[in-house]
Amino acid sequence: MSRRVRLIAALVIPLVGIGALIVRGELRSTGDRVWRVPVEGYDPRDLLSGQYLRYRYLWAGEAVLCPGGPPDCCLCLSGASAGVAATPQVYSVDCAQSEQTEACDDLVRSAEVRGPERFYIDERYALAAETAMRERAASVELVVTAEGGVAVRELFFDGVPWRETLVPSK
């Protein structure tokens, strides 16, 4: 293999890698069942770390992340409605026990949502988002990935997408 070919191959690898990351991100975000889950700031003293908000989920229902539960623990999300982002009812199950999981609309591995989570914000909206996170009802729209993770699509304040309700700083 000539030096030029090796150089080209070496340069193609990062391009393909970044492309693959984009495709993976797109695939993770697609899904028929969309959930709306309330969230709260993770650290009330400093919600904003860099250009992202730190938050954790407020699961409705048993709302437990398997403390003392089965080692292979999943959150069972139920209550999906077609075409609408639904707030799920949640209880913990053993991921490996099919009789426990068959009634679930989606299964999330508890380790994936133990938090704190991140939501990246445009730097001009950062301070407004931090204030809104503290003073208003926040929620995120997400889909569950095939691997049992979650892909967050959007952040809402009082049910309105953040871009439509926050005012950027000058």
Interaction site with another protein (CB under 8 A): 4, 7-15, 17-19, 21-22, 25-26, 28-29, 50-52, 117-123, 125, 151-153, 163
Q: CA 169 to CA 91: how far, in whole Å?
A: 40
Measured CA to CA in angstroms, residue 150 lies from 16, 77, 132, 166 at distances of 24, 12, 23, 25
- Smallest gap from Cβ 14 to another protein, in A, equals 4
Residue with smaller CB distance to another protein, 94 or 141: 141
Residue with smaller CB distance to another protein, 72 or 141: 141
Residue with smaller CB distance to another protein, 15 or 82: 15
- Smallest gap from Cβ 114 to another protein, in A, equals 10
Q: CA 144 to CA 111: how far, in whole Å?
A: 14
- Smallest gap from Cβ 130 to another protein, in A, equals 14
The burial of 70, by beta-carbon neighbours within 10 Å (0-12 exposed, 13-18 middle, 19 or more buried), is given as: middle
- Smallest gap from Cβ 28 to another protein, in A, equals 7
- Smallest gap from Cβ 67 to another protein, in A, equals 18
Residue with smaller CB distance to another protein, 105 or 154: 154
Residue with smaller CB distance to another protein, 16 or 103: 16
